[in-house]
Amino acid sequence: MLRKKTKTLFFSSLLISSTFFSQAHNVSEGYQKPNDPLVIQNLENWQDLKFGLFMHWGTYSQWGIVESWSLCPEDESWTQRKSEHGKSYNEYVKNYKNLQKTFNPTQFNPQKWADAAKKAGMKYVVFTTKHHDGFAMFDTQQSDYKITSSKTPFSKNPKADVTKEIFNIFRKDGFKIGAYFSKPDWHSDDYWWSYFPPKDRNVNYDPKKYPERWNRFKNFTFNQLNEITSNYGKVDILWLDGGWVRPFHTIDQNVEWQRTIKVEQDIDMDKIGTMARKNQPGIIVVDRTVPGKWENYVTPEQAVPEKPLTIPWESCITMGDSFSYVPNDNYKSSQKIIETLVKIISRGGNYLMNIAPGSNGDYDAIVYERLNEISNWMNDNQSAVFATRSAAPYHEGNFYYTQSKDGKTVNVFHLDEKVDYQSPSIVSFVIPENFKPKSVRILGLKNKIQWKKIGNSIELVLPKERTQLKYSTVIQITQ
């Protein structure tokens, strides 16, 4: 992920709040709408999905630490190294790389994940095929630093190519498939050249001074992405992280981490994107924070925009506090997850919720509890969530709005961000302008509802059965 210190950031005049999240990152300006009809259609379908599963998983799960970032010599809170893993930086890096030799997640069972995620209403998955540390969770032929290497104990398992297993299982269960891939590779001697010590997250030499080395890295990256988009069945989303690997002219000097980029790191996205579209017609490419033709949707991290965006977007937010597996992580309550989902979809976005498997290859038990609780809410309210779009007035007080794509149905979510949600006996809320309601119902309740229209508002009297409603009250109005 793109780590940042800043608590709040601006996109045009839009404030992106991270009041209950630890970090955020900028949303790039200058969105360029795709002109490929297949990409346009894929984006439209993707915007119908609303809720996706993100998974950060790698050898680092054995130490229960942040993904990759402890290798980075930047002095930030998320890059801290524990002394028991190495007294010096060089010793730490050596021990980190040796995690490959003990990685054996024998409880890996992607069907168990897909079953729980599907039941909870998740419709797409984005999996980390390779993070910044360079360890490939797929069977690349470009490097031996991979889960299928003979150096990795799990390579003897018939499910050793975990990317293939995850993609096949989730695809079979109707999920769209997304491949996360880190453009920087801190294991590659053509990115962090061993001749120089790494200075920060960026390439540690000047690519213009050593063009042959940089070209080798470009080819290495191209070849790995060609493998992912050629050998793993249908892939719907190519989710590229590590936005400091970018053409120098695209740097936004208003963004702190982008100011650390001192040299040209053009990876040739036109070549990569064209290849990906040839292999996977209509694939959505997300070159995060690099504005232009290859950032097909934007990705606020650990944050939810305060107002709707007019372009396709997705908030990637952790179920716990960390993207990677950390023992005894602080998992969010089901009510907090539902509230976040409602806020995101009312502003026109998708919610990509990250769940990190542990070193044994499974989630914590509490994760399955959360997903099951969410599934109970989804069973009643999914018609107000999926294939919807934002609807004015979007958000007023405790009410959040979505509408069907044909505009004939409006969904009004009542939230009350207390520890335990209690549905009120009477609610009154405004309705979209020129909307003429003919029927009103409460999703999850069978009883008819008493309602009346007063001006541009509706007043509802809820039945006693409202006490069974959890997390929110969802009112569905048709005209």
Helix, strand, coil share (%) of the chain residues, nearest 5: 30, 20, 50
3-class state of residue 244 by DSSP: coil
Q: Which residues of 205-234 are buried (b: 16+ CB within 10 A; e: fewer)?
A: bebeeeeebbeebbebbbebbbbbbebbee
- Give the mean model confidence (pLDDT) for residues 103-112: 98
Confidence class for position 260, pLDDT limits 50, 70, 90: very high
Q: Dihedral sign, CA of 74, 80, 85, 88?
A: positive
Mean pLDDT of the chain: 93
pLDDT digits (tens, 9 = 90+) for 264-273: 999 999 999 9
Predicted pLDDT at 434? 87
Structure tokens at 110: 């992607």
- In the predicted structure, residue 32 carries a pLDDT above the cut 50: yes
- Give the mean model confidence (pLDDT) for residues 190-203: 97
Confidence class for position 27, pLDDT limits 50, 70, 90: low
> Where are the domains positioned within the chain?
37-382, 388-478
The structure's pTM equals 0.94
- Give the mean model confidence (pLDDT) for residues 359-377: 98
- Give the mean model confidence (pLDDT) for residues 329-358: 98
Residue 4 neighbours by CB distance under 10 Å? 21
